[in-house]
Amino acid sequence: MKRKKKPHDEHISEGWLIPYADLLTLLLALFIVLFASSNVDAVKLKAMSQSFSSVFNGGSGMITNSSLSTSQEEEDSKKTDARTKAQSYEIAELEKIKEEANDYIKQQKLEKDIKVEVTNEGLVFNIRDRALFSPAQADVKGDAIQIAQGMSNLLVKAGQRQIQVSGHTDNIPINTVQYPSNWELSAERAISFMRALQRNPKLTPKRFTVSGYGEYQPIASNDTESGRSQNRRVEVLIRPLIDIKAQNVLDETKVKP
């Protein structure tokens, strides 16, 4: 009589393992894509997408941190380069205005009263109060009107850049009916000079801001008359179109001797 085969003697097919493995792979890929889309930026997501495309088209399927970080570094590098070029261009434009300003100052023999320089804040005109005002007064009169007119022509060259006019005093108190303190005097002087600049119809008022700092932003010691004279000033700041505070950019654009 023929012996019957026992159940464990029969060979069980393992064909189901292949589709099961594919299903697990797809589920894993889906999970990683969902996780990546919620935690990484567009650059990293694009890199992951390319890696998965390689997987499903017969590639190695390896997604490495180095590929993601390299893509991010390249993107950051491009942004940095673009910003550096923009900063360099902006500083160069301000330097052009500075050169024209120095020519005007020299022609008008105002070297002792007006200084101009490019700083991290922008292009700054520093004007001694004696060139614009009578002592303890804020009215722009006489030759000061011509100074304001000449400066306004320089400010026109600044295009659409914002302009800030600020007034400063020394620390000697003032207490008059018109100016109860140095706050009022400094602010009124800034407003007065701003109005004198705006006589030029080419300057749009919306580009201007004005401020009075009183005695609280000195540039020299108030212990001497020479220092107090430097502190009594009006500053006109042409603000750059972009931030130029990066000191290395300023250094790179300086003209070498």
User: What is 114-132 written as a DSSP string?
Assistant: EEEEE-SS-EEEEEEGGGT
Integer Cα distance of 234 and 212 in angstroms: 9
CA angle centred on 217, ends 172 and 157, rounded to 5°: 120
Q: Evaluate if pTM is beyond 0.75.
A: no
pLDDT tens for 57-89 read 555 545 556 655 677 777 767 777 777 888 899
For the chain, the structural domain boundaries read 16-63, 84-253
Q: SS3 for 166?
A: strand
pLDDT tens for 167-200 read 999 999 998 999 999 999 999 999 999 999 999 9
**Third-level CATH fold of 84-253:** 60s Ribosomal Protein L30; Chain: A; (3.30.1330)
Residues of the chain above pLDDT 90, percent: 58
Residue 168 is predicted with a pLDDT of 98
CB 181 within 8 A of CB 129: no
Q: What are phi and psi of 135, to 5 degrees?
A: -55, 135
pLDDT tens for 200-252 read 999 999 999 999 999 999 999 999 999 999 999 999 999 999 888 754 444 54
User: Among 223, 148, 161, which residue's Cα sits nearest to residue 189?
Assistant: 148
